[in-house]
Amino acid sequence: MHLFLHNRASSSRTRPGVQAALLTALLAALACGPQAQAKPKADAPAGASGAEPSADPEPHPVLDRIRSTGRIVLAHRESSVPFSYYDANKKPIGFAVDLCKDLAETVRKHLGMKTLEIAYLPVSTSTRIPAIVDGKADLDCGTTTNNAERREKVAFTVPHYVTGSRYLVRADSPIGELEDFSNHVLVSTAGSSQFKAIDKANHDHLMHIDLQAVPDNARAMQMVTSGQADGFAMDDVQLYGLIAESADPKKYKVVGKFLTIEPLAIMLSKSDPAFKRVVDDEMKRVIRSGEAEALYNKWFLKPIPPRNVSMNLPMNYLLRDSWRYPSDIVGN
């Protein structure tokens, strides 16, 4: 700008009026320019310049709801041993419930609240996703598999278990693999990834399996025990838990190769990225600190209520490897 004004002034020496106009313009520019640059931008932090802070473009519906109600709602299962189930007093307990209670405390600290009530909502395989989507629950503390189809509706944090689908049968059953269920009754919980995988294989390969949906694990066990069903397809870790908690564990066995690989993770809403960051950061901290493994040992290697029977299930290589670099990113 200075070079431009100098050239214009040099070419106008015989025109005093023009020189005066240019001098006035130069003085005005010098007077206004630095001050204009020093003025804070409209979106500058208020603490730095005194300007009003800009509106946060990121929504916080879950955090805002928790703050305004003073409570966080944990969805839980009734019979997903040892992840999420009832004790003898109908109190929700389990590995996933303990993790969710830790996450609830982290949310309380994040929001700067003195107290935070923990409320519980029982859900099934068919009601768990709507509970999160509709805002009836803030965290799903159970055995939900993180897959691409579900991520269209909800979000997941870092997996707390990695397992595979197998089959629970009576101890005297000759069934060993999925194809052996041809012309037999196989049950799985409605809406589960296991039910969908078996249904597809059944139709694609004409296996003639009588596949039936049940509302929960308890009903599936009843059907296998009574002979109404020949087998129950579910994550093998849940099957071992059901056997350990049964009246006579010797009556059952788990058979078959892995039909699917299931990364089980706590489910939460897609609508609040800030809430997810709080949950993800705490899950990673708990895993890296060794606290998650201590909880694993409590629920999988030691006697658990209500019958004080141990599952005696050491951590598998799938989970141990996934916890080396904890992430919410999983295969589809």
pLDDT value for 59: 85
pLDDT value for 332: 72
pLDDT value for 58: 83
Residue 22 has pLDDT above 90, yes or no: no
> Residue 319 in contact with residue 262, Cβ under 8 Å?
no
> Residue 216 in contact with residue 85, Cβ under 8 Å?
no
pLDDT grade, residue 42 (50/70/90)? very low
Rounded CA gap, 267 and 276, in Å?
10
Enumerate residues 6+ apart whose C-beta is below 8 A from 104. Answer: 72, 74, 116, 118, 139
Cα distance between the two ends of the chain: 59
Neighbouring C-beta atoms of residue 179, cutoff 10 Å: 13
Residue 256 has pLDDT above 70, yes or no: yes
Rounded CA gap, 258 and 163, in Å?
9
Entry pTM? 0.75
pLDDT value for 55: 56
Residue 105 has pLDDT above 70, yes or no: yes
Compare 130 and 3 and report the one with higher pLDDT.
130
- DSSP H/E element including 55: none
For helices 61-69 and 95-111, what crossing angle results, to 10°?
A: 80
Q: Which domains occur in the chain, in start order?
A: 61-160+265-324 (3.40.190.10), 165-261 (3.40.190.10)
What 3-state class would DSSP assign to 75?
Answer: strand
pLDDT grade, residue 46 (50/70/90)? very low
pLDDT value for 56: 61
Among 1-10, 106-115, 168-177, whose mean pLDDT is lowest?
1-10
Rounded CA gap, 222 and 164, in Å?
22
Residue 7 has pLDDT above 80, yes or no: no
Among 31-40, 192-201, 226-235, 292-301, whose mean pLDDT is lowest?
31-40
Residue 37 has pLDDT above 90, yes or no: no
Could you report the per-residue pLDDT of 133-182, keeping only the tens digit for each?
A: 999 999 999 999 999 999 999 999 999 999 999 999 999 999 999 999 99
> What does the pLDDT average to over 291-303?
97
Strands 161-170 vs 252-255: parallel, antiparallel or unpaired = antiparallel
Enumerate residues 6+ apart whose C-beta is below 8 A from 51. Answer: 40, 41, 42, 43, 44, 45
Residue 228 has pLDDT above 50, yes or no: yes
Rounded CA gap, 291 and 283, in Å?
10
- With CA atoms as reference, report the closest residue to 269 among 49, 111, 88, 59: 59
Among 6-15, 65-74, 260-269, 318-327, whose mean pLDDT is lowest?
6-15
pLDDT grade, residue 267 (50/70/90)? very high
Residue 31 has pLDDT above 80, yes or no: no
pLDDT value for 9: 39
pLDDT value for 132: 98
Residue 8 has pLDDT above 70, yes or no: no
Q: Which tokens belong to 163?
A: 């397992």
